[in-house]
Structure 1
Amino acid sequence: MKRRTFIKLSAVSAAGMVLPLQLEGDVAAAARLKPSTLITPNADFYILQIGEPAELDAAAWRLVITGLSEKRIPPLRLEDITAMASVTAMRTLKCIGDPIGTEQMSNAVWKGIRLRDLLEKVGPTPEVKVVVFRCADGYHTAIPLEDAMREDTLLAYEMNGEPLPTEHGFPIRLLNPGHYGTKNPKWIMNIQLAKEHESYWEKRGWDPIANVKLATMIGTPSEGEAIPGGKVYTVSGAAFDAGNHGGIKKVEVSIDYGQTWEEAEIWAKDTPLAWVLWKWNWQVPEKSEPVEIYARATGNSGVTQDEIGIQVEPVGATGYHMIDAAIVMP
């Protein structure tokens, strides 16, 4: 008898509650998928910053809120923040500079506070247009005040049930849904309420809004992989739109240069703010030949990725992810 396991996931009910969900699956089969788990372990979560990670002492760290506010509050200790009403949520982060199909995209369960709960303690004045984040590594960025006041914009202090690892922003980082990692700063030291701000990457010509585009990644097969002919091979990967197209409706795979498409199975998902994982079982032909494998996603808005990417409101889509592989016979 094959060894089997229950893969623990979570789902969101119509009432907005996070509910447990279990999928029965074969251990060996799940291990062949990539990603193989809905939650990325902390050790495998992608890391990117402008320099070395900032190593901060929790006992000495303080968060200072400055700028255009109705009142001032003393610098906040970490324990002041963790004592506030907390929120636990699953979120995927993706790098703005991530070439199509590479792996600077990961998913975790985070715990923190709503940013608006903190800002309401000081009261932004009517002149405030942006909220600026200044970080211990010298990085700085800003988001619109209306984004900062959204219910799902968080200051996170835990990641997958553990205190934020140093490389992921200990003790506090921002989770700004719908936006690439440039707008989710780490090692926050100062929050400033301002009329305007030119952020670190905007000064260097990068997109000042940084909305996540509809994207799909093929995890298996890898580039150049030899695929056994005459057998069933599972093509797998992830798709993500950060909720900018209402979440992922479906993923499709093509092995004939995009002439026909087969719908993949979405085998793991949570909220539109987290990626979906998909798989497609392919009966591989019994002949040796090169093959190109394409994957594309369609959002709940109706937008579907095309070969070169598309520009539509509110935010576009990347081009297909394509993998070159080879069918080989024994």
Structure 2
Amino acid sequence: MCRPASLLGRRRAMKSGSARVGFQAGLIASAAAGLVMLFARLAWGITTVPELVLDQSTRAVPPTVFAFVLDRLQFAAKPLTLGAIVIGQLLVGGALGVLYEWRMAATLDRPATSRRALVIATAGVLWAFTVLAVLPLAGAGIFGSALAEGPLAVSATLLVAVVVFALVLALLAEWATVPGVQPAEPSALTRRSFLRALATGSVAVVAAGFALRALSLVSANASATQSSRRPTASLPPEVTPTKDFYVVSKNFGDPVVDEATWKLEITGLVENPVTLTYAQLTALPAVDDTVTLECISNEVGGNLISNARWRGVRFRELLALAKPKPGVRKVVLVGADNYDDSIAFDRAMSPANLLAWEMNGEKLTPSHGFPARLLVPGIYGMKNVKWVTKINLVDYDYKGFWQVRGWSDEAYIKTMSRIDVPGAVTTLPEGQTMVGGIAFSGDRGISQVEVSVDDGKTWKRATVGRPLSPYSWVLWALDWPATPGRYPLLVRAYDGSGAPQDSTSVESFPDGASGYHSIVVNIQPAQT
């Protein structure tokens, strides 16, 4: 059967620019779907597909490469990587737009219902592929069953996102190429020009929004960690204000947990599985303690260390409610952000550990793990899980989020010391000068701190303050009669057993940094 000449002409016209039009429409549709996911993330805490891909992709990177990138980019590493994934999502949307446009060309000689069927089929195939293939490959399980938000919320959000993608793609592609009445050429050019501008604008809006969010994250993290290090000539406060306490997170957006609906489950090898509401948790017998947290990524002389007063229940008493069975090897903790880690059962049963719900006399803030976070003195902060929703007792060697990426599982805190005074001031007048800072060795205490003003040739004993608890840092100070000259200052500490701080300079990956912190001070003659 011969096709009408007008139809053949329309098809030839579509082929000449279909790929370009489809790609532009796909970009816009992908941006619209991304905005749906972003809205769900901000409103209800639904994890987005780019975040899942980010988490899973880091598993494929060799640990040494991952550590190198993290060490060099610091807080910018996460936003930059996620940005690359978002760009990839937009490009995939553009490629799908090209395929859709080509397929739509085959429906021009059919009723409009055929094109509507194509839209429905596109949405259905994309949704099924995402929930049955992409989510499991990203570690989220079928329909998002492994995520704390639950499969219904995750799959429903993705359904809305793919429907928006399909509708926007179909409307824009058809509007640009099949207006119903064959347009004059200037009109067609105007529509396609407008589509190009819209595609460019959509990508620019998404990029700008992402850049602002990334910059805000970098700025917030940098501010939080820099504030614990005082550049002026004074020691840091013994207790770090909550607003200044360092923050490190794997997330692009941390979860905001609803106190009314939050529940804590204790499951696994237990005789009595337990589920607690926030009210039930906080009604348990509470204790107060002062505990210092340090990030395993903290560099020598770095700022990723802070001290706070905490209130919570003894972790072993919490576990006792569930009556652990014999043979438990690890205690696995999972957060509302799906972060997971584990500690050895013997370590978990230490009386020093807390599941805390207060920090410095107030409820935990969202960035510090509200409604509950783990505190295990003596191990680095990555294992002190925040936003805890599940505690699972297992009989095997469970590896958590960072362990599968090559970081230490034991994560014992190394003895460290830092010079805070003189701090950033490197030129001082001669005379009596105070040198001071902090020292910390996890749950082992600090017995002595020494300072060298001649690059380690000789050492002077500093005065060490009384710790606020066996698990907190100490402040130290030395009065130094400084004479004119250039002085390389070093500090070293000894833990409670008398073991010296490791002088070997080692980067943080995989089990924490070591080495002596040093600064250079210029002493000028007193002016007469």
Shorter-chain TM-score range: 0.7 to 0.9
Deviation, 1:34, is 2.4
Match of 1:98 in 2: 298
Name the CA distance, whole Å, in 1 between partners of 2:512 and 2:336. 33
Deviation, 1:305, is 2.1
Match of 2:95 in 1: none
Q: Identify if the C-alpha distance between structure 1 residues 193 and 306 changes in structure 2 by more than 3 Å, giving closer, same or farther.
A: closer
Match of 1:181 in 2: 381
Deviation, 1:261, is 0.8
Match of 1:320 in 2: 516
Q: Identify if the C-alpha distance between structure 1 residues 316 and 141 changes in structure 2 by more than 3 Å, giving closer, same or farther.
A: closer
Match of 2:28 in 1: none
Match of 1:57 in 2: 258
Match of 1:248 in 2: 446
- The equivalent position to 2:492 in structure 1, one of 258, 282, 296, is 296
1:69-95 deviations in whole A, cap 9, x for unaligned? 11223x211110111111100100001
Asked if the contact 1:33/1:234 (under 8 Å) is kept, the reply is no
Asked if the contact 1:214/1:316 (under 8 Å) is kept, the reply is no
**Residue 207 (structure 1) aligned with residue 405 (structure 2):** no
Give 1:125-140 correspondences, 5 Å limit. 125-140=325-340
1:164-210 deviations in whole A, cap 9, x for unaligned? 11111000000011100011010001111111211111100001100
Counterpart residue type for residue 461 of structure 2: E
**Residue 263 (structure 1) aligned with residue 461 (structure 2):** yes
Q: Identify if the C-alpha distance between structure 1 residues 317 and 99 changes in structure 2 by more than 3 Å, giving closer, same or farther.
A: closer
Name the CA distance, whole Å, in 1 between partners of 2:328 and 2:503. 41
**Residue 308 (structure 1) aligned with residue 510 (structure 2):** no
Q: Which runs of 5+ in 2 are unaligned?
A: 1-231
SS in structure 1 at match of 2:263: coil
Asked if the contact 2:426/2:520 (under 8 Å) is kept, the reply is no
Name the CA distance, whole Å, in 2 between partners of 1:267 and 1:118. 34
Name the CA distance, whole Å, in 2 between partners of 1:147 and 1:111. 20
1:262-291 deviations in whole A, cap 9, x for unaligned? 111113422231000011112221x2x432
Name the CA distance, whole Å, in 2 between partners of 1:325 and 1:193. 52
1:48-105 deviations in whole A, cap 9, x for unaligned? 01012221111111111121111223x2111101111111001000010100111111
Give 1:60-209 correspondences, 5 Å limit. 60-73=261-274, 75-196=275-396, 197-209=398-410
Superposed CA RMSD: 1.9
Name the CA distance, whole Å, in 1 between partners of 2:271 and 2:242. 39
Deviation, 1:32, is 3.4
Larger Rg: 2
Specify which structure has the higher proportion of strand. Answer: 1
1:132-153 deviations in whole A, cap 9, x for unaligned? 0001112100001111111111
Name the CA distance, whole Å, in 2 between partners of 1:234 and 1:227. 13
Deviation, 1:327, is 2.4
Q: Percent identity?
A: 39
Deviation, 1:309, is 5.8
Counterpart residue type for residue 255 of structure 1: V
Name the CA distance, whole Å, in 1 between partners of 2:502 and 2:490. 10
Counterpart residue type for residue 68 of structure 1: L
Give 1:8-23 correspondences, 5 Å limit. none
Q: Identify if the C-alpha distance between structure 1 residues 47 and 316 changes in structure 2 by more than 3 Å, giving closer, same or farther.
A: closer
Asked if the contact 2:427/2:521 (under 8 Å) is kept, the reply is yes
SS in structure 2 at match of 1:302: coil
1:116-143 deviations in whole A, cap 9, x for unaligned? 1111111111121111000111210000
Match of 2:471 in 1: 273
Match of 1:217 in 2: 418
Q: Which runs of 5+ in 1 are unaligned?
A: 1-30
Q: Identify if the C-alpha distance between structure 1 residues 300 and 309 changes in structure 2 by more than 3 Å, giving closer, same or farther.
A: farther
Asked if the contact 2:430/2:524 (under 8 Å) is kept, the reply is no
SS in structure 1 at match of 2:280: helix
| TM-score of the two chains, using structure 1 as the length reference | 0.83
Q: Identify if the C-alpha distance between structure 1 residues 230 and 325 changes in structure 2 by more than 3 Å, giving closer, same or farther.
A: closer
| TM-score of the two chains, using structure 2 as the length reference | 0.53
Asked if the contact 2:437/2:476 (under 8 Å) is kept, the reply is yes
Name the CA distance, whole Å, in 2 between partners of 1:309 and 1:189. 38
1:230-283 deviations in whole A, cap 9, x for unaligned? 22221111000012xx31011111100111111111134222310000111122
Match of 1:21 in 2: none
Specify which structure has the higher proportion of helix. Answer: 2
Counterpart residue type for residue 205 of structure 1: G
Asked if the contact 2:270/2:323 (under 8 Å) is kept, the reply is yes
Match of 1:20 in 2: none
Asked if the contact 2:296/2:513 (under 8 Å) is kept, the reply is no
The count of corresponding residues between Structure 1 and Structure 2 is 289
Counterpart residue type for residue 324 of structure 2: P
Give 1:222-233 correspondences, 5 Å limit. 222-223=423-424, 225-233=425-433
Name the CA distance, whole Å, in 1 between partners of 2:493 and 2:377. 19
